With several copies, the nearest count.
Chain A
């Protein structure tokens, strides 16, 4: 059976709601702590999990995720630790993707990474700095290992590029709702709706909207026009803001429940 994230979106759609997609970097605060945190997201209502691969040069990330990833790297997290994290989280049955800048994958070896990700139970990859037109090697490897290929569309993407991108996606399409880096925002973007509409004209894949959502109300708003609500920085923030791990997990659970309620409210 193909372990694609699409199944989770379908299930949510069947429930008449959007899916909640939760992101946390692997290795924060350490590898096992990261696994606990990700499992907490699963337990508290996330439908799909994105595991960030910490990278030294994260050009699409805002200060929150940068800080967590840097902490993870300084703690010695390795690519193999990310795969172990995938394995532990995917074991819950929730579709689990890796979100990664391209160089660590290229360095690991693209076919090898695809193989190891698949055998860890991972659903696929989200690639913030790899667009389909630069991704032939990844596309081939993903297809060979039956993995999701989640590419991004942006408000600045031309219609032609949106079409080209969605045609290459599998699992879902990641719509970056603001022109900007990751980071919780107090208001959602008015660029998101039109982008989702433009995206839907090119594909039947579910469209997840990311960047900026930090509470249930925002989640509800996004859920009103998107198939998935992607939350990252807000989760990291919840962990960063707490001094001890137990408190961090409690905060994470509370936020996830708020967001899960949000996607059901729309």
Chain B
């Protein structure tokens, strides 16, 4: 592959207004104590994105350290199976094994630019925590990661990883002691340390500017993929697909394609045991608008607006909210979001492993599962040149214990 220079960040027709609203969604529902910090961050981010030196420095770090541009890989055996061309954007080969490194490197570089020397982050299964600890080590910053007590127990290896990287992990007991509570606790901590501490948020959700800023740091995925696809095949893909948890990998892929009207865009949500069972995390499918973690978006909530615990075999998708830009993209119809059950995702994980020798993260397996259905249909309509580009957001090493249990290995 030749290196595909990161296209200069272009706006799309689906961007937020200057106050962070994507149509009816987004905004900033935050304690006043954090507003100054969010304003400062907004300004610093916009200033940085307009500074070619910052953009160049971000790209250089992603390239030299994280291994971008990630490959666009034609999965030939899988393509043969489904009768359409399957392209995988290999974010699984990035340093630390997922797209998430892009976001943390961007935010940490911005933190450095803002003169702060400490970062905090929330984490669910530990992926964003490990990525944040990695970025902090790279930049020589102090790092504290908040993690639900339940997750600390379940994900001992990732806790060890963060410790090795020099980060402090704080176990959070409140609420359900999982990801959403870790976010709550990180926000609480941020309130009291906001003068010298940056909060590296792990997905394209939360209060303005996080949804737009995280997207900007993740959008290399789509910028690269679009250029690679054009370069390698001379055409844009017929469809693109990603899994949607908070939505960072998905929006990172979509952004470059939003105004390509001929490109169909799909997002695959964690359907858990099946949306009809209530045990799922398919927030957009549930389509229930509310405010969570600082933004108006779709939220899994009860009649009184209390957040409902989400369920997914995939820790990284197990979140009762979703980035507000996705809510907007769903409402406008630009992107089609569909739920994928645990069982469908695990079947796809197995299929990709056996067919291509690539064990995907269970998150990414949701995208594979959904996209293969799309590809079959497109292949039937358009023949084997129909092209579906899937973001392989991460590798499955972290998920082996889950897979062992699921497949009884």
**Which A residues are closer than 8 A to B by beta carbons?**
55-63, 66-67, 70, 73, 78-79, 102-108, 128-131, 133-134, 151-158, 161, 165, 176, 178-181
Query: Measured between alpha carbons, how far is A128 from B193 in the docked complex, in Å?
Result: 18
Jot down 17 A-B pairs with beta carbons below 8 A, ordered by A: A58-B184, A59-B184, A62-B188, A66-B175, A73-B306, A103-B301, A104-B305, A128-B31, A129-B31, A129-B291, A131-B28, A134-B29, A155-B33, A157-B35, A179-B191, A180-B191, A181-B188
Contact A157 B32 (CB under 8 A): yes
Query: Measured between alpha carbons, how far is A61 from B21 in the docked complex, in Å?
Result: 27
Q: Tell me which of B32, B301, B304 contacts A153 (CB under 8 A).
A: B32
Top 3 A-B pairs, shortest CB-CB distance: A107-B305, A154-B33, A180-B192
B191 — which chain A residues lie within 8 A by C-beta? 60, 179-181
Q: Tell me which of A55, A62, A79, A102 contacts B29 (CB under 8 A).
A: A102
Per-residue CB proximity of B167-190 to A under 8 Å, as 1/0? 000000011000011001001100
Answer yes or no: B30 CB below 8 A from chain A CBs.
Answer: yes
Min CB distance B304 to A, Å, is: 5
Query: Measured between alpha carbons, how far is A179 from B294 in the docked complex, in Å?
Result: 18
A78 — which chain B residues lie within 8 A by C-beta? 304
Q: Which residue of A lies closest to B33 (CB)?
A: A154
Q: Which residue of B lies closest to A155 (CB)?
A: B33
Within 8 A of A (CB), among B17-39: 19, 27-37
Min CB distance B73 to A, Å, is: 39
Answer yes or no: B303 CB below 8 A from chain A CBs.
Answer: yes
Answer yes or no: B67 CB below 8 A from chain A CBs.
Answer: no
B29 — which chain A residues lie within 8 A by C-beta? 102, 129-130, 134
Contact A104 B180 (CB under 8 A): no
Answer yes or no: B194 CB below 8 A from chain A CBs.
Answer: yes
What class of interface size applies to chain B in its complex with A? Answer: 35 or more
B299 — which chain A residues lie within 8 A by C-beta? 103
Query: Measured between alpha carbons, how far is A155 from B195 in the docked complex, in Å?
Result: 11
B32 — which chain A residues lie within 8 A by C-beta? 131, 151-154, 156-157, 161, 165, 176
Determine chain B's interface SS by DSSP, over half rule.
mixed
Contact B192 A63 (CB under 8 A): no
Contact B31 A154 (CB under 8 A): yes
Within 8 A of A (CB), among B27-86: 27-37
B384 — which chain A residues lie within 8 A by C-beta? none
Contact A59 B33 (CB under 8 A): no
Q: A56-B175, A60-B188, A107-B305 are in contact. Are A156 and B30 (CB under 8 A)?
A: no
B184 — which chain A residues lie within 8 A by C-beta? 57-59
B27 — which chain A residues lie within 8 A by C-beta? 134
Answer yes or no: B290 CB below 8 A from chain A CBs.
Answer: yes
Contact B175 A108 (CB under 8 A): no
Answer yes or no: B336 CB below 8 A from chain A CBs.
Answer: no
Q: A103-B299, A129-B29 are in contact. Are A157 and B293 (CB under 8 A)?
A: no
Q: Most A CB atoms within 10 A — which of B29, B34, B35, B304?
A: B304
Answer yes or no: B292 CB below 8 A from chain A CBs.
Answer: yes
Q: Which residue of A lies closest to B304 (CB)?
A: A79
B296 — which chain A residues lie within 8 A by C-beta? 106
Q: Which residue of B lies closest to A179 (CB)?
A: B192
Contact A134 B28 (CB under 8 A): yes
Q: Most A CB atoms within 10 A — which of B31, B32, B301, B306?
A: B32
Contact A103 B188 (CB under 8 A): no
Q: Which residue of A lies closest to B21 (CB)?
A: A134
